[in-house]
Amino acid sequence: MIPTITAFESSPDRGKGQARDMRVRWAFEEVGQPYGVRLVSFREMKEAAYRALQPFGQIPTYQEGDLALFESGAIVLHIAQHHAGLLPDDPHGRARAIMWMFAALNTVEPPIVEHEQAPYVERGQPWYGRERLSFLEDRIRVRLAELSRRLGDDGWLDGAFSAGDLMMVMVLRRLNGSGMLEEYPNLAAYVARGEARPAFQRAFAAQLAVFLAASGDR
């Protein structure tokens, strides 16, 4: 049975490959697993039927037979555990790749998302301003500096490309346009290596096609 994921009918990222279904699409492409996509509207995501599948009303979800999953990290891990190509065979290497998935989602991504959301959720509050944004940017730079030191001149985080790299590259891509990633040349090059992978390119093209179709662009 071919698994099916959900994705935005009209993505707010405007085809930039930032929506979280992109992570799952990339994982499928890396392991050569065909998949289907069910597009959902913002209205549908808040309805009871969808909430039964995804209680927080978000994308993506994953359905394969009787199995239903949500959370992009959990879905990517499931794909990686059931298909060769994203986790090492060596048990220790496998554990470290999963560790880097958690590091991307739990350590690196939170300050980036907080910085992204601040202009939308904090604007108009007495504490919001350049000082607040500088504070949030400094938090991001702390994590980037630590990650940069650990990566060094290596191509990937722990030997060969893994699900840990997939997730870390996707998280770092959220900084596109901020100028912060370019302050750490090895991290910028690391992201570029991820984006150059044929599997990434196929996943990006598939997500972009949905946006172009929704917007009427060709």
CA–CA gap between residue 85 and residue 27 (Å, rounded): 9
Q: Which residue has the tokens 């990633």?
A: 181
Query: Facing residues of 61 across strands?
Result: 70
What six digits make up the tokens of 163?
């699900």
pTM over 0.85: yes
**DSSP annotation string for 16-40:** SS-STHHHHHHHHHHHT---EEEEE
pLDDT at 218: 47
pLDDT at 217: 55
Q: Which residue has the tokens 């999953």?
A: 69
Cis peptide, bond prior to residue 60, ω within 30 of zero: yes
Query: Mean pLDDT in runs of 10 for the chain (218 residues)?
Result: 95 90 98 97 96 97 98 98 97 98 98 79 68 85 98 98 98 95 98 98 95 74
**For residues 156 and 93, is the Cβ–Cβ distance under 8 A?**
no
pLDDT at 124: 66
Buried-state track 6-44, b at ≥16 Cβ within 10 A, e below 16: bbbbebeeebbbbbbbbbbbbbbbbbeeebebebbeeee
**CA distances (Å), 186 to each of 36, 149, 213, in order?**
35, 9, 36
Q: Which residue has the tokens 């990650």?
A: 147
The closest of 169, 179, 180, 157 to 204, measured between CA atoms, is 169
Contacts of 49 (CB under 8 A, 6+ apart): none
